[in-house]
């Protein structure tokens, strides 16, 4: 029997694995996709908000060309971390269920079952996009995940959102030759936008290179047009692609299947002890950005790395009690 099954091989899942190894626990890490799967699916040209040293784990130096690393540099870094610590990774293996009670759980996955004394859920929030809920959202031209600007050369692109992912997509696609329109529900660009990016988008809007509609929303999407509701009324715009950068949220249904309850308010924060990160199920913990529920800006790599050591320390103490 294993001591721990860690679900999720993102930076926090890897940090949990390192902490478990330092505590001499027997464990494995299950991941439904590839190593640091969410980072892999980030936009190709993304730059982190955090500096490289603040997202280091396991004592492995993170050296980047600039203070803030790129997605590509992060992928290389976490590959080196996994190799240095020889972490027992089981990639492309999705967890489907959890039965039992402490200290005898059975974790069912797409490839088998595992007997374990405890479980750490470190799956992040990049699983599911926040849907707009409008007619036509299921059309092929609507993208909820943005990767690279190249496909949008010479195209009429509507970007929905006001935070970093939307602003990055708007600027990148415009610079590669797209005709970009930005639709923002609020009255301004999000204050969370990277401070070195904000002047860029504001200047592009001011000069008219990117058209922006504030206090506006998408009403309907059709094959060759998109209808938006603005303070001046509805407008129908010619359109080739809609990039709906409306945010993401954890898989709450899946969490519920594992017995993890969430708050009943709009935030839907997974319930856990604020100090130990243990859920209502003894020996089952949360770690990392999944802890924020729909409040996806509350936790990120830099400020949740310490969850790993806290969780493993508490779990190890229960095993030895």
Write the DSSP assignment of 99-147 as a string of letters.
EEETTEEEEEETTEEEEEEEEEE---S-SEE-----TTTTSTTEESS--
What separation in angstroms does the CA of 17 have from each of 11, 31, 57, 289?
A: 10, 12, 11, 16
Q: Is the dihedral of CA 276, 103, 253, 90 positive or negative?
A: positive
Mean pLDDT of 262-281: 95
What is the mean predicted confidence (pLDDT) over 123-145? 95
Taking 80 as the threshold, does the pLDDT of residue 212 lie above it? yes
- Which pair of tokens denotes residue 3? 């001591």
CA-to-CA distance for 279 and 261, rounded, in angstroms?
8
Closest CA to 118 of 132, 129, 102: 102
The whole-number pLDDT of residue 297 equals 84
Average pLDDT, the chain: 96
Q: Is the dihedral of CA 138, 139, 142, 144 positive or negative?
A: positive
Question: What local confidence, expressed as pLDDT, does residue 150 receive?
Answer: 97
Q: Is 270 within 8 Å of 279 (Cβ atoms)?
A: yes
Measured CA distances, 311 to 10, 121, 285, 286 (Å): 16, 11, 7, 8
Distance CA(234)–CA(227), nearest Å, equals: 7
Q: What is the pTM of this model?
A: 0.92
Number of other residues whose CB lies within 10 A of the CB of residue 4: 28
Is residue 13's pLDDT more than 90?
A: yes
Q: Is a pLDDT exceeding 80 seen at residue 225?
A: yes
283 has pLDDT over 80? yes
**Which tens digit of pLDDT belongs to each residue from 157-177?**
999 999 999 999 999 999 999
pLDDT at position 241 over 80: yes
Q: What is the pLDDT of residue 30?
A: 98
pLDDT at 127: 77
Q: Percent of the chain at pLDDT above 90?
A: 93
pLDDT value for 97: 97
Q: Mean per-residue pLDDT for 110-133? A: 95
As a whole-number percent, the residues of the chain with pLDDT over 70 amount to: 100
Instruction: State residue 49's pLDDT score.
Output: 87
- Residues belonging to the chain: 321
Q: What pLDDT, in 10s, does the model give residues 50-83?
A: 999 999 999 999 999 989 999 999 999 999 999 9
pLDDT tens sequence across 87-112: 999 999 999 999 999 999 999 999 99
At 50 the pLDDT is: 93
Reported as a pLDDT band with limits 50, 70 and 90, residue 142 is very high
235-255: average pLDDT: 96
pLDDT computed for residue 217 by the predictor: 98
pLDDT at 23: 98
Average pLDDT on 133-144 reads 98
Candidates 19, 18, 22, 24; CA nearest to 2 is: 24
């Amino acid at each position: 029997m294993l001591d721990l099954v860690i679900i999720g091989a993102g930076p926090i899942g890897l940090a949990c694995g390192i902490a478990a190894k330092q505590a001499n626990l027997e464990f494995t890490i299950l991941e439904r996709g590839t190593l640091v799967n969410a980072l892999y699916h980030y936009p190709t040209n993304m730059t982190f908000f955090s500096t490289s040293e603040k997202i280091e784990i396991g004592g492995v130096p993170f050296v980047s060309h600039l203070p803030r690393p790129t997605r590509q540099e992060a992928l290389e870094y976490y590959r080196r971390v996994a190799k240095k610590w020889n972490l027992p990774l089981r990639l492309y293996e999705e967890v489907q269920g959890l039965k039992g009670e402490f200290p005898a759980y059975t974790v069912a996955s797409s490839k088998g079952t595992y007997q374990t004394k405890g479980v750490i859920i470190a799956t992040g929030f990049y699983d599911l996009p926040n849907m707009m809920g409008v007619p036509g959202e299921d059309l092929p031209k609507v993208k909820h995940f943005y990767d690279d600007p190249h496909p949008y050369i010479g195209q009429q692109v509507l970007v929905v959102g006001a935070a970093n992912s939307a602003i990055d997509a708007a600027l990148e696609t415009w610079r590669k030759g797209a005709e970009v329109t930005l639709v923002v529900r609020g009255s301004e660009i999000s204050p969370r936008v990277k401070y070195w990016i904000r002047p860029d988008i504001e200047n592009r809007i001011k000069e008219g290179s990117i058209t922006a509609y504030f206090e506006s929303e998408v009403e309907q999407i059709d094959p060759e047009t998109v209808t938006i509701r603005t303070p001046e009324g509805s407008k129908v715009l010619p359109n080739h692609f809609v990039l709906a950068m409306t945010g993401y949220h954890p898989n709450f249904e899946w969490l519920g299947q594992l017995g993890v309850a969430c708050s009943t308010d709009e935030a839907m924060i997974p319930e856990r002890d604020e100090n130990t990160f243990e859920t209502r199920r003894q020996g089952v913990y949360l770690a990392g950005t999944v802890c924020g529920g729909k409040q996806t800006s509350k936790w990120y790599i830099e400020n949740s790395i310490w969850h790993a050591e806290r969780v493993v320390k508490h779990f190890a103490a229960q095993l030895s009690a």
